[in-house]
Amino acid sequence: MWAIALIMLFGTVVDYGIRWIGQRQDTLTWEYVAIVNTVEGMSGLIVALALAYTAFYVSGGRSVAVERMLAGSVIMVGVFGGVLGVLLILDYFSLLSSMEPEAAELFKTTAVKGLTLSGLYFLVLVAIGLRGLLRAGSE
């Protein structure tokens, strides 16, 4: 189970690396699309963390340090989602002034989707991570 979690994590990190380093362009439109794609791709990162948690409990994990590390990782991913949401809305408003009305409507749809996902990731993952931190070592 740990191996699957690491493969998922590695694949997600490679995806982010290719997107943000290998395909980088210095335009606001590229940044907006990259942020939207990153938010949409966070599900792979979340699945990797869920698999790591599952592997920890299936293996009879009793290490408080590992449990806290996993909970902290969940909080960091949630905060990352929230930060991406803020960057997304800043890019959206920066692009809005220079767009045609038809394009603005398409960008609005992706902005709403990205903000919904990033807000959901922030609220749910931070709450789960905090619960995990409070629960760590209490059993």
**Considering the domain boundaries, does residue 139 fall inside one?**
no
Q: CA angle 53-55-12, nearest 5°?
A: 65
**118 within some domain:** yes
Residue 12 maps to a domain:
yes
> Which residues lie closer than 8 Å to 96 by C-beta, 6 or more apart?
104, 107
Predicted local confidence at residue 139, as pLDDT: 61
Q: What is the pLDDT along the chain (139 residues), one digit of tens a residue?
A: 788 989 999 999 999 999 889 888 888 888 999 999 999 999 999 999 999 989 888 888 778 888 899 999 999 999 999 999 999 999 999 988 888 888 888 888 999 999 999 999 999 999 999 999 998 767 6
Instruction: Answer whether residue 55 is part of any domain.
Output: yes
Residue 105 placed within a domain: yes
CA dihedral 48, 113, 115, 120 (to 10 degrees): -50
Query: Among all chains, which residue has been given the structure tokens 């809005």?
Result: 96
How many domains does the chain divide into? 1
**Residue at 123 is within a domain:** yes
Is residue 67 a part of any domain in this protein?
yes
Which pLDDT belongs to residue 85?
Answer: 96
Torsion sign across C-alpha atoms 3, 44, 90, 80 = negative
User: Is 59 within a domain?
Assistant: yes
Q: What is the pLDDT of residue 14?
A: 93
d(CA 113, CA 35): 12
Q: Length of the chain in residues, anyone? A: 139
Which pLDDT belongs to residue 137?
67
Measured between alpha carbons, how far is residue 18 from residues 13, 14, 21, 36 in Å?
A: 9, 6, 5, 15
At 99 the pLDDT is 82
Show the domain range for 71: 2-134
